[in-house]
């Protein structure tokens, strides 16, 4: 029996529940892509699946709309895989444990994947309904958006006829998104110098921070767990000698890390732990209005002999974390309250030979993104790190006098009796890739109310899904004919 039985809009949520049963984290696209193919076959719709596992499904115009301009409906198939620190959930194998809480759908202990599974489900419900009036539809389900818009960048754009596109990857029903940031990934790699040590092993874990989307929530004052860990270690090294065994925090560059763990060896664990707890309580009081659930968990594992990072490497790790740029770099002087340029240290990871620092960079201006990369390259040289940059995508620039924007505002006002807020966003959207590849593309991005994406607190409003579905069907039925 479905967990979403009798919850409207049933058809949309039926497809969303199907999606939640299929492992579909970034890089694990085979099963979800096959699901889209099976959907197309079951509805006798023409489709294309490419080597990147993107799926394009075509639906002919309904009666009376044969001469209408075609339209692209687009969403991405992958989700950000984050879970609570005490969860044993396996994103490679397990189905999401979703449930209804009032007006919201949530997942137990993990991200929900409403970003962007709910967009996929809305499009599928439209494709499945033969009673709707609509122009020719080119439905595009892209892969690996969350790790650099990889699927979209590999699309064969000659497969599209449309010059209009509605992206379903936004998170506020009252906002019409018309521009987004470009971005890139940047990694620093610090070689580890090792030494043999004897002492007490201590594990410090910072947990309970809010985390969230590194574009949408970068201006919300949310604390980065990796940087907070560095702050704690910086204080402790002024009073104690210790050597780091390993340090890890965050799993996705584009998610603000909410947990970070360091394992280390020190001589006097009792005093060390006492100082750590006392200092952390002061910090917690400082940030309590922003991070009420922040916690420090401490374990003393007793005396060990081990290979650890040398004092030089230990200090270098702390110094890099303390001094690397992070968060908002510049605000826009042209668009009120828009973060123009930022970066997020989303992943800190130790392997046998190196420590990796993985940043997600964003800017609504290509030249500012260039300069941010140049700053990090300079920083890498100062701190003795190797670097790599990849996954670059350009900004989606605002299009003046857009007929699609005007139509959406008109139908929104007729439907809800108010005007949507028109915004540029600091997050990245695949609209940027499509706009760069399809000349003169008229593009907008919409979506239902979704909260705390990229974190285990993610939730989506059921009533908002219904409103966005009704609004989209009204758009398709309204004025798209020549």
pLDDT in tens, 60-102: 999 999 999 999 999 999 999 999 989 999 999 999 999 999 9
Q: 3-class DSSP state for residue 289?
A: coil
Mean pLDDT over 403-426 rounds to: 94
Of the residues 17, 115, 138, 145, which is catalytic?
145
- Please tell me the predicted confidence (pLDDT) of residue 482: 43
Q: Assess whether 78 carries a catalytic annotation.
A: yes
DSSP 190-219: EEPPEEEEEEEEEEEEEE----EETTTTTT
Percent of the chain with pLDDT over 90: 87
Say which residue the tokens 């704690």 belong to: 232
User: Residue 423: which of 218, 220, 181 has the closest Cα?
Assistant: 181
Provide the pLDDT for residue 9: 64
In the chain the first and final C-alpha atoms are separated, in Å, by 45
Burial (0-12, 13-18, 19+ Cβ within 10 Å), 434: buried
Residue 401: the pLDDT is 86
User: How confident is residue 398, by pLDDT bands cut at 50, 70 and 90?
Assistant: confident
Secondary structure letter of residue 69 according to DSSP? P
CA separation for the pair 406, 443 (Å, rounded): 11
For residue 362, the Cα-to-chain-centroid distance in whole angstroms is 12
| 238 alpha-carbon distance from chain centroid | 36
At 222 the pLDDT is 97
Instruction: Report the candidate in 452, 413, 195, 456 with the shortest Cα–Cα distance to residue 314.
Output: 195
Q: Please state, rounded to an integer, the average pLDDT across all residues of the chain.
A: 94
Closest CA to 356 of 391, 394, 311, 321: 321
At residue 126 the predicted structure's pLDDT band, cuts being 50, 70 and 90, is: very high
Helix (H) or strand (E) holding 40, with range, is: helix 30-42
pLDDT at 216: 85
Residue 393's pLDDT band, with cuts at 50, 70 and 90, is: confident
State mean pLDDT over 305-321: 98
Is the separation of the CB atoms in 354 and 191 below 8 Å?
A: yes
Is-cis flag, bond preceding 116, omega within 30?
yes
Report pLDDT digits (tens) over 228-283.
999 999 999 999 999 999 999 999 999 999 999 999 999 999 999 999 999 999 99
**330 carries an active-site annotation:** no
Q: Is the pLDDT of residue 448 over 80?
A: yes
Structural domains present in the chain: 10-180+396-476 (3.40.630.10), 184-393 (3.30.70.360)
Residue 479: pLDDT band with limits 50, 70, 90: low
Structure tokens at 192: 């580890």
d(CA 144, CA 482): 35
> What pLDDT shows up at residue 351?
96
Each residue's pLDDT tens digit, 157-213: 999 999 999 999 999 999 999 989 988 999 999 999 999 999 999 999 999 999 998
Structure confidence by residue, pLDDT tens digits, 342-375:
999 999 999 999 999 999 999 988 899 999 999 9
Which of 78, 172, 173, 449 is catalytic? The answer is: 78
Place of tokens 């910090």: 283
């Amino acid at each position: 029996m479905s967990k979403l039985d009798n919850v409207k809009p049933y058809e949309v949520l039926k497809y969303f529940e199907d999606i939640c049963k299929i492992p579909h984290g970034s890089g694990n696209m085979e099963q979800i892509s096959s699901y889209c193919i099976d959907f197309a076959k079951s509805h006798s719709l023409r489709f294309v699946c490419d080597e990147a596992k993107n799926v394009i499904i075509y639906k002919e115009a309904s009666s009376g709309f044969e001469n209408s301009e075609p339209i692209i409906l687009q969403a991405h198939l992958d989700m950000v895989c984050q879970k609570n620190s005490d969860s044993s959930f396996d994103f490679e194998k397990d189905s999401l444990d979703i449930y209804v809480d009032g007006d919201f759908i949530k997942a137990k202990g993990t991200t929900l994947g409403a970003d962007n599974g709910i967009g996929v489900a809305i499009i599928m419900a439209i494709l499945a309904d033969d009673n709707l009036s609509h122009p020719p539809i080119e439905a595009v389900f892209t892969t690996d958006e969350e790790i650099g818009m990889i699927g979209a960048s590999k699309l064969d754009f000659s497969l599209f006829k449309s010059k209009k596109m509605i992206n379903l990857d936004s998170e506020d029903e009252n906002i019409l998104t018309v521009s987004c940031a470009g971005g890139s990934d940047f990694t620093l790699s610090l070689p580890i110098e090792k030494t043999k040590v004897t002492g007490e092993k201590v594990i410090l874990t910072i947990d309970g921070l809010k985390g969230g989307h590194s574009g949408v929530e970068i201006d919300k004052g949310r604390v980065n767990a990796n940087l907070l860990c560095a702050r704690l270690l910086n204080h402790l090294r002024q009073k104690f000698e210790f050597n780091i065994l390993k340090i890890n925090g965050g799993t996705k560059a584009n998610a603000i890390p909410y947990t970070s763990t360091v394992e280390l060896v020190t001589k006097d664990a009792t005093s060390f732990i006492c100082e750590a707890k006392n200092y952390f309580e002061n910090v917690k009081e400082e940030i309590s209005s922003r991070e009420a659930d922040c916690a420090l968990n401490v374990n003393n594992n007793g005396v060990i002999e081990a290979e650890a990072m040398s004092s030089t490497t230990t200090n270098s790790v702390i110094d890099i974390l303390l001094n690397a740029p992070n968060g908002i770099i510049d605000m826009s002087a042209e668009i009120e309250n828009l973060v123009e340029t930022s970066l997020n240290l989303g992943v800190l990871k130790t392997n046998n030979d190196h420590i990796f620092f993985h940043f997600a960079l964003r800017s609504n201006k290509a030249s500012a993104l260039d300069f941010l990369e140049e700053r990090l390259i300079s920083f890498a040289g100062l701190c003795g790190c190797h670097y790599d940059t990849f996954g670059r995508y350009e900004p989606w620039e605002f299009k003046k006098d857009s007929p699609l924007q005007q139509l959406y505002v008109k139908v929104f006002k007729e439907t809800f009796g108010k005007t949507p807020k028109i915004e540029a966003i600091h997050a990245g959207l695949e609209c940027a890739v499509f706009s760069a590849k399809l000349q003169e593309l008229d593009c907008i991005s919409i979506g239902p109310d979704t909260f705390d994406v990229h974190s285990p607190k993610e939730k989506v409003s059921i009533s908002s899904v219904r409103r966005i579905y009704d609004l989209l069907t009204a758009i398709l039925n309204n004025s798209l004919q020549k």
